[in-house]
A and B are shown apart, each in its own frame.
Chain A
């Protein structure tokens, strides 16, 4: 019977055809033997796809990995995390400070404060080596001018919209310009003392005439200030560096990159880093002069931003591209350009192709200024699943991957792989909403922290892959004060602290004060097992003290938008990922406690506030470190968070990958990896090679905090 035979034959044949394909597929070992090209190809696995290959516009990790290979910034961090010149050969930071001259004022000895008198006195003081002027190199007098302008009333008030522009007369007074050899945030304080309180008596409002005092106030604030401190960075660019298309890199590219970021049409997520910049000038092809509006030390790091090629993205090029694509030329911005899917930079690798959600292929750049990489190709393979990534790694189709704690045990001692463990840059914490009366007493917060056995959390939740942290700075940096001791695990001590704070057990064993039980809710986002586990552990520990604790997980968007952003919570389990700078203003400053701001726990400490402002204006590393450590101690004292731990990440790599350098005899010399202070081993990526068989024993490293 034909039908019957068909019913049996069809599945058999289909299956046979499918399964025979196995015999044509290479195994782990064959991939290298059968395809020597595989040795020159480095494959890294990424959980997510890149979104936009333009360093000025991207914000996600996957895009950053590609962008850091294709593009290069003016500076980056060296092995010891100090700054190192890349596209900039060297740099100099100094300060230009401006002081108004109000000739109607009198100096402390009664002499009129004319420009000439001021200048003479300052020069005399400088000759006699006054402390206030020790950094001053030159003092110049800038003439004033009078301008008349039409100004719209301040737009803050809705009702005044559409009001007639008002005529405003600004009599810009002459100014004294000081050039300081380095940045000094206390310069005007000291100058004020030298001039007997002259600086503090200056009033910009005097120099503005307007029909409406509100307008005068606004204009005076915006256009005239009694003092102005502008840090200046001069970058000397490296000569003879080329973009991947052969065009030479110069100062116009730097200026263009800056302009791209601040152009509002481009919606760059990096605007906040560059907002404090006043101007970027290019005195010549190899010099860039950056002037800041105010003292803002964390801004320096942002010059590590990849530099865009001006010749491919300037106005004229975009106009042509818009024309080709039939788009509106006016609206067409860098964000719309096809460049973002086929970027051109000056980096170690040049872009070749991007298959969405599959892979991104890069090829080595032969004219790289520091010499080309050993690997011919760099591929970023996108695998959205963790277990599959691990399996892919076994199968030999990925060379490196970041393992989770639970995966480490089965791989860590496998001789086929290098294993590199390093501390992450973020930390996990329990935050207490200090707007709630129960959390206002620091003793309560300390007691809650002491009740939790953090070492056990690290041992059982993280399977040992974490270290304790005691404060807001990354443990790898000098800002972290190693002398701050973590809270001891001491439930009895916690109970004592609580009773000191007035919480006594009632008949049911529940802590009570003024007839009210100690009860609150701890929340975290769902989908993060680590945080859920911590939440439950904390709940248990606190219940044993006699506290009524509810624990809840909720979907991320609800958790953030409805609860955290609105300050509608008691306690949260959350984590921060940190940068390397000492700026924690947004997270802990008392001005940042509003809705949708990041100090959602409502932490306030005037001393810490002052330090957080000062540390951003401090350009001297030693002084910054001293301030940061003081902030660290203050915050550890106040315990707005129970600081829990920093995770350790584990990177696994095929043991066939080693560093190679030509030795003195011309033969290749194989070297082990040298990680930087953050634990990244790919610092010397240009020297990496993959050998057919392992030539060095597997690299094992356990990078601890310091």
Chain B
């Protein structure tokens, strides 16, 4: 077990090293340059562009830029091109804004996907199953931004309330409870929209997983012994059916920094997805690469955690 951990960590460190190189190279290979040194600004002279490039270290060879970059990242010295603020501080602030969204979305996904999937599996080929199947595929296929616009227009036109941003803007001096509810309301539409695709996909998995388990020998045995149907389904079948989903808990970790790029932009949500999106548009290299790197770290941690979880819940697996 211990040696497994050490080995896994070692392998993951290597992966991380390669990720760091690739993510650094990709952004520098992409066409364009930071918006601060936009050559289309008529008032810029060549010398000035050079001075900017020097200030951003862009005049140095790539491998030196690479070392400088990661050195600054690890010592917390890294600063954004755009506003000269520390990158880690910016990321942390945005991650904090994305966190409630991530939590509510996850809760919604898990709360809805399981009942829906299980019901569809139990009532296989029934009308309910067919309706949910169609609905689910519709939700997966409609682009998120389109649903978002429809949702926003529907709510604003019919209910005349604000749905954009963290809270009703310009409303101040109201009590703490109103504030809390106002913030909750601003989470609703965004998280429901964010969760739809998740619910659709996850409920499909749950359905097929349940179908597989329901058809297995031990369930037939339990039924033939005369165990009540509810007990068979929710006690015997569900337990084994849920096994694979335990590992998904680990894979949730990178979601902490993933954010929803398009939805956050549409809803003017100051979250991490929008930070990354805007950084890419303005070629704010420090922010883009740092985000990439942190996401890689979290993904690797996530896979490690899910490996361990699997070991924990399934005694057949030994490492």
Whether the pair B169, A398 counts as a contact (CB closer than 8 A) is yes
Whether the pair B156, A395 counts as a contact (CB closer than 8 A) is yes
Kindly state whether residue B5 has any CB partner on chain A within 8 Å: no
**Chain B window 39-63, contacts with chain A (Cβ cutoff 8 Å), 1 for yes, 0 for no:** 1111111101001100100000000
Considering the complex, which residues of chain B in the window 159-178 have a beta carbon less than 8 Å from any beta carbon of chain A? 159-166, 168-174, 177-178
Distance of B234 from chain A, by nearest CB (Å): 4
Can you name 7 A-B residue pairings with CB atoms under 8 Å?
A: A4-B234, A14-B108, A14-B111, A21-B185, A272-B44, A357-B268, A357-B274
Q: Which residues of B contact A270 (CB under 8 A)?
A: 43
Most B C-beta atoms less than 10 A away, residue of A1, A27, A267, A395 = A395
Given contacts A21-B184, A22-B159, 5 further A-B contacts (CB under 8 A): A11-B115, A384-B274, A388-B152, A397-B165, A555-B31
Task: Identify whether the interface residues of B are mostly helix, strand, loop, or mixed.
Answer: helix
Whether the pair B169, A397 counts as a contact (CB closer than 8 A) is yes
Chain B residues engaging chain A, CB cutoff 8 angstroms = 30-33, 36, 39-46, 48, 51-52, 55, 82-85, 90, 93-94, 104, 107-108, 111-112, 114-115, 118, 149, 152-153, 156-157, 159-166, 168-174, 177-178, 181-182, 184-185, 187-188, 191-192, 230-231, 234-235, 238, 265-268, 270, 274-275, 278
Q: Which residues of B contact A38 (CB under 8 A)?
A: 170-171
Contacting residue for A26 out of B31, B32, B171, B188, CB 8 A = B171
Q: In the bound complex, what is the Cα–Cα distance between A561 and B40 (angstroms)?
A: 9
Distance of B287 from chain A, by nearest CB (Å): 12
Whether the pair B84, A395 counts as a contact (CB closer than 8 A) is no
Q: In the bound complex, what is the Cα–Cα distance between A336 and B83 (angstroms)?
A: 10
Distance of A597 from chain B, by nearest CB (Å): 9
Considering the complex, which residues of chain A in the window 1-21 have a beta carbon less than 8 Å from any beta carbon of chain B? 1, 3-4, 7-8, 10-11, 14, 17-19, 21
Contacting residue for B169 out of A381, A388, A565, A598, CB 8 A = A381
**Chain A window 432-471, contacts with chain B (Cβ cutoff 8 Å), 1 for yes, 0 for no:** 0000000000000000000000000000000000000000
Q: Which residues of B contact A17 (CB under 8 A)?
A: 184
Q: Which residues of A contact B238 (CB under 8 A)?
A: 3
Whether the pair B170, A397 counts as a contact (CB closer than 8 A) is yes
Whether the pair B160, A395 counts as a contact (CB closer than 8 A) is yes
Whether the pair A26, B42 counts as a contact (CB closer than 8 A) is no
Distance of A58 from chain B, by nearest CB (Å): 10
Whether the pair A272, B169 counts as a contact (CB closer than 8 A) is no
Whether the pair A379, B32 counts as a contact (CB closer than 8 A) is no
Whether the pair B43, A385 counts as a contact (CB closer than 8 A) is no
Kindly state whether residue A59 has any CB partner on chain B within 8 Å: yes
Kindly state whether residue A43 has any CB partner on chain B within 8 Å: yes
| Contact A383-B268, Cβ < 8 Å, known A10-B111, A271-B48 | yes
Q: Which residues of A contact B275 (CB under 8 A)?
A: 357
Q: Which residues of B contact A387 (CB under 8 A)?
A: 149, 152, 266
Whether the pair A43, B84 counts as a contact (CB closer than 8 A) is no
Q: In the bound complex, what is the Cα–Cα distance between A586 and B42 (angstroms)?
A: 7
In the complex, the chain A residue whose C-beta lies closest to that of B113 is A11
Kindly state whether residue A516 has any CB partner on chain B within 8 Å: no
Kindly state whether residue A289 has any CB partner on chain B within 8 Å: no
In the complex, the chain A residue whose C-beta lies closest to that of B116 is A11
**Chain A window 593-620, contacts with chain B (Cβ cutoff 8 Å), 1 for yes, 0 for no:** 0001010000000000000000000000
Contacting residue for B82 out of A14, A51, A397, A596, CB 8 A = A51
Contacting residue for B265 out of A31, A267, A384, A596, CB 8 A = A384
**Chain A window 342-356, contacts with chain B (Cβ cutoff 8 Å), 1 for yes, 0 for no:** 000000000000011
Q: In the bound complex, what is the Cα–Cα distance between A381 and B82 (angstroms)?
A: 19
Whether the pair B39, A561 counts as a contact (CB closer than 8 A) is yes
Q: Which residues of A contact B114 (CB under 8 A)?
A: 7
Q: In the bound complex, what is the Cα–Cα distance between A398 and B171 (angstroms)?
A: 11
In the complex, the chain A residue whose C-beta lies closest to that of B89 is A356
Q: In the bound complex, what is the Cα–Cα distance between A339 and B55 (angstroms)?
A: 20
Contacting residue for B31 out of A51, A383, A561, CB 8 A = A561
